[in-house]
Amino acid sequence: MQNHGRQSGTIPRAFYLMLLALLLFSAQTESATDNAGAKDATADALKTLIAGKRNPLLSSPDFSPLAEQLASLYRQTGYQLLWLPPNRNHTAVEQGLTMIAQAFADGLDPRYYDAELLRKNLTLAGSIATGAVQELAEFDTAFSIAFLRYANDLHFGRVSPQQLDYPQTFGKNRTLDIPALLAQALEHQTLNKLPDQLRPKFKQYRQLQNVLAAYRKLPKEANREALLFNASLHPFETHPQMPLLRQRLIQAGAMSPQSLAEDTIYSEALQQGVKNFQLQNGLLADGIIGTETAAKLNETLQQKILQIELALERLRWLPDDIDGPLIIVNIPAFQLWAFNDNDDSEPLNLKVIVGKALQNPTPVLFEKMRYLEFMPYWNIPQSILDKEILPKLYEDIGYLESQDIELVERNESDADSWDSVFEDLKSGRVRVRQRPGKNNPLGKVKFVFPNKEDVYLHDTSSPRLFERSRRDFSHGCVRVAQADKLAEFVLKNQPDSDWNNENILQAMSDSKTRRVSLKNPIPVLFIYSTSFVDQQGQVHFYRDIYQQDQLLLKALDKNLDQSGQNILSVKSQG
């Protein structure tokens, strides 16, 4: 009986276990409810902030252009914190801040992305209570906005090319989903690999990056002394600044730093260095230091760095899908390069003549070459007819015949008087064209890639102009030296092609016009870049013949002014 009594007064062990299970379940349910509530509160705070399109922690609070990308980024994580998770592990933030701090490697300014500002605020972010969802949302989105700004600038460029009247084919053909890439990089902790996914894939971009890094390592130029020449300096003349000239040439990579006498004679070694320097800068390599050569020698290191940065910006505007054979004309370089593929180390390189500066500038473009025409007619544009042909015709009624120019779409019965002919020509009712032959300015072959500017590549009847160092003489089309070599490049890249240099030269000496359509059209890219790395890895700097560098600088400055990011400051906390 006593044993039975003790058993009846004792709570069974099974009951304890059941009670403990209930308590644990209740605690877990409450914890889950708390977590769900915290997630909902975080999501609401993030959605509200994104909808407002402003973040007070940034020096440029308005992020309207990125609001859609920011929403897409946070949707992929269910609108939860990306950079400041509950465990406050700042590995991702540190990795990201290091990444944008190195933006200068691409010619971008880390200050533009609040790199220093965010690093200073990171300590403050770590001290925020987990329940302060509004503050956490502000800090988290501030980091996201900064990285999205950097990623977009690296991929698309800081300036829209359409601001500078570039065709729609520049800056628009982009396929990367930047928010998805950033979310993936955060998930897999691979932020350091993100820049390579965003950069242009062109070899030229990598080469310019390397040159930029090398130039930034050169000693800073404090109180740079100018080279002063009262008149052109010729070989073996004397000048007191010859040691400074030698130093300047070595710095430019135009001559090696071998031991030379520190005298004042313009020696053979210095002359060769000057010739190398002139070639690097698109000048006539005659070894004479004239006005243009002196001006280039006096350009500062910062000016050259700026030219490289502008070149990198323009390369970010190019379409993503350029592959295979490619023809590039760099307008201020007066050069053409024809590449078999993106990594072609020995491209065809030819001199070209481009449009007259500020009168008939050659446009930038990206089109596909569709056909070649051997022994072409020249369909004379109305503008050239009005300005150049008609005045000569007024002076000499036989001018058209002497130049092998014929009237098109005019009946013989209509030619009752020269007055009516002039009227038809001035009104555009009658077209005129020049027959193939020695007088035809298109030479013996033209390369056609239909475009709204109606420009093309072509041979020339005036090859002597290729001897000039500055070659902007055309009405906008691009004249090509050794056009037979370009024809050979184009036709050899066609399937089942039996064209060789021999039958190309034959077609260029025939009396009949012959059109050759391309089964595989070849991309043609006209660019404007005042710095360019050649196939030997040598950087060249060219004249800004169309003043496009100045226009781009103004556009960059305007964007900076509108963003309000000229002056960066840490938001006062406390």
Which residue, chain included where needed, has tokens 């998930």? 187
Domain boundaries, the chain: 14-199, 323-376+436-543, 383-435
Give how far Cα 532 sits from Cα of 308, 421, 529, 552, Å.
8, 49, 7, 17
Choose among 301, 332, 239, 363: nearest CA to 544: 332
The answer to whether 556 touches 158, Cβ cutoff 8 Å, is: yes
DSSP-derived secondary structure letter, 85: -
Strand, coil or helix: 322: coil
Give how far Cα 209 sits from Cα of 107, 199, 215, 467, Å.
8, 11, 10, 32
Residue 303: what residue type? Q
User: Which residues share a beta bridge with 514?
Assistant: 374
User: Could you write out the DSSP letters of every residue in 46-75?
Assistant: HHHHHHHTB-TTSSS-B-GGGHHHHHHHHH
Q: Work out whether the CA dihedral 534, 539, 543, 549 comes out positive or negative.
A: positive
Residue 90: what residue type? H
For residue 222, what pLDDT is reported? 64
Rounded (to 5) percent helix, strand, coil in the chain: 45, 15, 40
395 versus 489: the higher-pLDDT residue is 489
User: Could you write out the DSSP letters of every residue in 333-355?
Assistant: GTEEEEESSTT-SS-EEEEEEEE
The answer to whether 169 touches 366, Cβ cutoff 8 Å, is: yes
User: Could you write out the DSSP letters of every residue in 236-296?
Assistant: T-B-TTHHHHHHHHHHTTSS--------SB--HHHHHHHHHHHHHTT---SS-B-HHHHHH
Q: What is the pLDDT of residues 119-158, one digit of tens each?
A: 888 878 777 877 888 999 999 999 999 999 999 999 999 9
CATH no. of 323-376+436-543: 2.40.440.10
Residue 210 has pLDDT above 90, yes or no: yes
In angstroms, rounded to a whole number, what is the distance separating the alpha carbons of residues 260 and 243? 9
Q: State residue 513 phi and psi, 5-degree precision.
A: -75, 135
User: Which residues share a beta bridge with 445?
Assistant: 374
User: Could you write out the DSSP letters of every residue in 130-199?
Assistant: TT-HHHHHHHHHHHHHHHHHHHHHHHH-SS-GGGGT--TTSS------HHHHHHHHHHHT-GGGHHHHHS
**Beta strand 405-408 pairing with 431-434:** antiparallel
Choose among 471, 455, 451, 475: nearest CA to 463: 471
Calculate mean pLDDT across residues 367-375.
96
- pTM assigned to the model: 0.84
The answer to whether 399 touches 392, Cβ cutoff 8 Å, is: yes
In the structure encoding, which two tokens stand for residue 475, read together?
């009405």
In angstroms, rounded to a whole number, what is the distance separating the alpha carbons of residues 339 and 156? 24
In the structure encoding, which two tokens stand for residue 513, read together?
């016009």
For residue 156, what pLDDT is reported? 92
For residue 411, what pLDDT is reported? 52
Calculate mean pLDDT across residues 74-97.
84
In angstroms, rounded to a whole number, what is the distance separating the alpha carbons of residues 135 and 45? 9
Q: What is the pLDDT of residues 309-320, one digit of tens each?
A: 999 999 999 987
For residue 160, what pLDDT is reported? 92
14 versus 96: the higher-pLDDT residue is 96
In angstroms, rounded to a whole number, what is the distance separating the alpha carbons of residues 492 and 516? 13
Calculate mean pLDDT across residues 374-402.
86
Choose among 66, 82, 94: nearest CA to 139: 82
Q: What is the pLDDT of residues 16-36, one digit of tens each?
A: 555 444 444 444 444 444 566
Band (pLDDT 50/70/90 cuts) for residue 562 is low
**Cα atoms in the 13 Å half-sphere on the side-chain side of 471:** 27
Least confident of 51-65, 334-348, 400-414: 400-414
Q: What is the pLDDT of residues 460-485, one digit of tens each?
A: 998 999 999 999 999 999 999 999 99
In angstroms, rounded to a whole number, what is the distance separating the alpha carbons of residues 316 and 477? 25
H or E stretch including 457?
Answer: strand 457-458
Residue 2 has pLDDT above 90, yes or no: no
In the structure encoding, which two tokens stand for residue 436, read together?
């193939």
221 versus 437: the higher-pLDDT residue is 437
For residue 542, what pLDDT is reported? 94
Residue 177 has pLDDT above 80, yes or no: yes
Band (pLDDT 50/70/90 cuts) for residue 14 is low
Q: What is the pLDDT of residues 264-307, one digit of tens each?
A: 899 999 999 999 999 988 889 999 999 999 999 998 889 999 99
Residue 500: what residue type? N
Q: Work out whether the CA dihedral 165, 168, 174, 180 comes out positive or negative.
A: positive
In the structure encoding, which two tokens stand for residue 416, read together?
């009752």
Residue 281: what residue type? N
Residue 308 neighbours by CB under 8 Å, 6+ apart? 107, 208, 211, 212, 215, 531, 539
Give how far Cα 423 sits from Cα of 36, 541, 557, Å.
83, 48, 50
Q: State residue 521 phi and psi, 5-degree precision.
A: -55, 145
**Catalytic residue annotation:** 458, 477
Band (pLDDT 50/70/90 cuts) for residue 416 is low
Band (pLDDT 50/70/90 cuts) for residue 15 is very low
Give how far Cα 561 sits from Cα of 65, 105, 495, 554, 566, Å.
16, 23, 52, 10, 7
Q: What is the pLDDT of residues 323-364, one digit of tens each?
A: 789 999 999 999 999 999 878 889 999 999 999 998 999 999
The answer to whether 249 touches 255, Cβ cutoff 8 Å, is: yes
Residue 151 neighbours by CB under 8 Å, 6+ apart? 178, 181, 182, 194, 198
For residue 87, what pLDDT is reported? 66
Strand, coil or helix: 468: coil
